[in-house]
Structure formats: C-alpha cells, structure tokens
Amino acid sequence: MYTNDRDRILNNIRINPETSCWEWQLCLDKSGYGWVCYMDKRERAHRLSFILLSNPSKEVTIEKGMLVCHTCDNPKCVNPTHLWLGTYKDNWDDSVHKNRNTKGEAHGLSKLTDDDVLDIRYKYSTGFWTQTKLALEFGVDQSTISDVVRRTIWKHI
C-alpha cells in the first residue's frame, strides 16, 4: 500500500489552506494528537513526521527527554516546518507565553473558584480567620490557603 513510511504520512494528511497545517486524518487520541504504529510501537504522528520528514536526507534522532512541539498549536498538525524540538520546560514556557496554559478555576483539578480565592483573601485580611480555619471552610490544605494569601498561586486574581 505505501512505498515507505514517509509516503504513509503524506498520504494521510489534509492540508489546511488557512494555516498550512498538515492535519493528520487517521487515529487521534483524546487530546487530538494523531498517532500511528511505527516499528511495532505506538507513536504520535507529529513526532514520526519530525523524525522522517524534517531532514530529507536522513531520519532525525530525538534524544531522550525531548519533545516535538508545535509552533501552530494544532495537535493534528504533522507539518515538519511547524514542529520544533524542546524540553518539557521549553514546551511549558511556550504555552505560558502564548497564554494556553490553564489556570485558576479553568484547571480541571482546581477545588477553588475565583470567588473563593477573593473570599479567602478578604477573610484572611480581616485578622479574624486563620489559615487553618479557612482550609476547613474551603476543603483544602492549609498550605493551599497560605499560597493563595501570599499570591504564589492564583496570581491572576
């Protein structure tokens, strides 16, 4: 069916004319990233594209601990010109710079809301509420209350 793995990638994309993304048309994971079996291993499609297509003369090796990141922020994109190598920190910094990281109540594991944080800060500022008492009131650890009132977390409020 395919003459080689490069053809396998190129035959399973749709080019988005607005973004020039090469969008993967086969299997997607729950986060929207394409995946494919390669050398008896499940591999993300954009990672395989970077390995096989970013250097036309040879396959690229990706060192352990490195990620293939997107400049376009489109998880389905396998266009090698939209991909770059980075560490987990590089990828995180990129998401912060582009304001793509979830924070506050939008974060799926958050136990507090924006209103809770404002309420905690107000109550603590009165001097009548201890961090331990606030932790019990809001169902979180005392260390979370400490971080909220010192603004080491929920800085955006």
Question: Is 156 part of a structural domain of the chain?
Answer: no
β-bridge pairing 13-15 and 22-24: antiparallel
Q: Say if residue 154's pLDDT is above 80.
A: yes
Using the structure block, give the residue that is written with the tokens 């793995």.
5
- Local confidence band at 16 (pLDDT 50, 70, 90 cut-offs): very high
Domain-located, residue 119: yes
- How many C-alpha atoms does 58 have within 13 Å on its Cβ side? 3
Cα–Cα dist 46/83, whole Å: 8
Tens-digit pLDDT profile for residues 84-141: 999 999 998 888 788 776 677 766 678 899 999 999 999 999 999 999 999 999 999 9
Hunting for tokens 């990141």 — which residue is that?
A: 69
Residue 34 CA, distance from chain mean position: 15
**Closest listed residue to residue 33, CA positions, set 14, 17, 53, 47:** 47
- Strands (E) across the chain are located at 13-15, 22-24, 35-38, 41-44, 67-70, 83-86
For residue 59, pLDDT beyond 90: no
**Which residue type, as a one-letter code, is found at position 36?**
V
> Of 65, 64, 70, 63, which Cα lies nearest the Cα of 45?
70
> Is residue 27 domain-shared with residue 56, that is, in the same domain?
yes
78 and 23 fall within a common domain: yes
Number of domains in the chain: 2
105: three-class secondary structure by DSSP: helix
CATH number at residue 70: 3.90.75
* Structural domain of 29: 5-97
Tell me the percentage of the chain whose pLDDT exceeds 70: 94
Task: Judge if 48 and 108 occupy the same domain.
Answer: no
